[in-house]
Amino acid sequence: MFWDVINALGGVGLFLFGMIWLTEGLRGLAGQTLRRSLSHFTNTPLSGAITGAATTALIQSSSATTVTAVGFVSAGLLTFPQALGVIFGANIGTTMTGWLAAILGFKLDLGQLTLPLVFLGALARLFGGARLPLIGTALAGFALIFLGIDVLKSSLAEFEGAVTPADFPQDSLFGRLQLILIGAVITVVTQSSSAGVTAALAALGAGAINLPQAMALVIGMDVGTTVTAALATLGGSTAARRTGLSHVIYNCLTGIMAFLLLSPYSALVARLGGGLDSQIALVAFHTGFNILGVVLILPFTGAFARLVVFLVRDKGSALTRTLGREMLGDPNAAADAAVSALDAVVRAQFGFLAERLRHRSATRDDKERLTEIGEAVTTLQGFVDGVPPTRSDHPAAARLGSVLHVTDHLGRLYFRCGQEARIAEVGADHRLRRLSRLLCALAAEAAAAQDAVAAEARLNRLRRLMRAQREIYRARILTLAAHKAQPDEVLAGRLDAMRWLQRVSYHLWRIQHHMAKLQEGRAPSSPRREAAVEVLED
């Protein structure tokens, strides 16, 4: 019997590996289709729920759907109520695994097909091109799921007669609560409610538990997923923490509702007698109470969202609030969050520069604002550095490259905004004052601009003007120095101020250049070209 337990655990392990590989393959194949679907078909909480259910059923991963939705909220592509619809729908989509296991795994004998499918999947992964390895991964994962079910089924068959429903908590109020707790623990340990549901189906098929006991376990597994969701959002972005709390509240409410439905549903199945298979009845119960939960909560999505926003307040810098470590595993979601944070930092930096040029004398508040911007740039760079390496042709790679280019120029602009002596010297004569007013106006305009391409064109003209004016001003300063019209240190200070204006205009242009590329979806310039442009500017 000991080895039967070991084999059963091995079956669960095979199932989990199968789920991981199937999700990886299907998620890679879905690619941008998943993102487009979530962004285009989530105008209302209802459409979000339908889209969330469909995408989760397609890629077999509610966490992938949820992380993508969180990334969209962070990037401002979805509102929080729209994302709630996606999250509610994902709970329905994840029950599809139970139907696959009940119908294909337990009703049909796929054991003879699994190993050849694993072999074909391995060949496709080894010798495929761009998409064939993903198909091979999904195929091997699909086969492992049913191989795991086959091992689990045969192992638990040995317990038939030896383990009976009487060995588990009885079908009473206290017994059901115990079973719910056991189901929650199983999900926390396996990190997969699908694996738990499959184990419950196997135990039900072997006669180790009866249907009411299995239903109580499944309710606990549904509630247990909230622990995983809550742990995953610790230290995450505001959107991720709100999502985690939403998941906890919603699943607990749905669990209470399912608990109240347990007795009526058991009575209905008993009335039908042998007309409904117990395993099909279990997955129908699982899907049914999730659908009913979504139907009941959707009309109150707005109020639910306001409650969650009230409970989870914004914290940390407003500039980097969209960044959370939960998105690092998804390059596209990480790029969404990084671009959103970058836009906020760029606008703050441009606005700060315009204010400093208007007043020229720094206050304590100015210094605190500049420090906050510098910390935000450092945080953003660290976040992008934490994204796992991706292929050069991955859609997120170009966007993250542009983000790094911008943060590099933001760091240099931050340094120049702290050069108090040069900023003060900008008011030394009428030419510097005139150029600084022009720079101030265009920086303020770019800080509020919605069209990054048009703003880039204006800053590019400013950059060229500043470069020409630097040469003219240098010649004038050299003439004044030759005639000893003013002390050398005064003239040197004014020349430094002119160079400061020219360099700042250059950084503004390069920042806006890459922001325009991000807005248009263009690839960033190569590092060699960036270096060449900088040399020409000097």
Q: What is the pLDDT of residues 187-213, one digit of tens each?
A: 777 767 777 788 888 888 777 788 888
Nearest to 219 by CA among 167, 156, 282, 271: 282
pLDDT of residue 513: 93
Q: Report yes or no on whether pTM surpasses 0.85.
A: no
As averages over each run of 10 residues, the pLDDT of the chain (538 residues) reads 67 71 66 65 80 78 71 72 84 83 68 73 75 78 73 61 60 84 82 77 80 89 77 69 84 91 88 76 90 91 89 79 76 84 92 85 79 90 84 76 90 89 83 91 91 92 92 86 78 89 94 88 55 50
Nearest to 95 by CA among 218, 269, 182, 265: 218
pLDDT of residue 162: 47
The residue type found at 68 is T
pLDDT of residue 529: 52
- What share of the chain in percent tops pLDDT 70? 80
Contacts of residue 130, Cβ cutoff 8 Å, sequence gap at least 6: none
Check: CB of residue 294 under 8 Å from CB of residue 89: yes
Contacts of residue 405, Cβ cutoff 8 Å, sequence gap at least 6: 510, 514, 524, 525, 530
Cα distance between residue 501 and residue 486, in whole Å: 22
DSSP code for 171: S
Check: CB of residue 49 under 8 Å from CB of residue 226: no
CA separation, residue 535 to residues 105, 390, 410, 531 (Å): 65, 30, 18, 6
pLDDT of residue 501: 92
- Here the tokens at position 487 are 């002390």
pLDDT tens-digit profile of 391-407?
Answer: 766 777 888 888 989 99
- Please, which contacts does 162-171 make with residues 24 or more away whose CB atoms are closer than 8 Å? 162/1, 163/206, 163/208, 164/207, 164/208, 165/207, 165/208, 165/209, 165/210, 165/213, 167/208, 168/208, 168/209, 168/213, 169/213, 171/210, 171/212, 171/213
DSSP per-residue letters across 444-465: HHHHH-S-HHHHHHHHHHHHHH
pLDDT of residue 161: 47
Q: Backbone phi, then psi, for 183, in 5-degree steps?
A: -60, -40
* 3-class state of residue 524 by DSSP: coil
Class of domain 325-537: mainly alpha
**Where are the domains positioned within the chain?**
2-311, 325-537
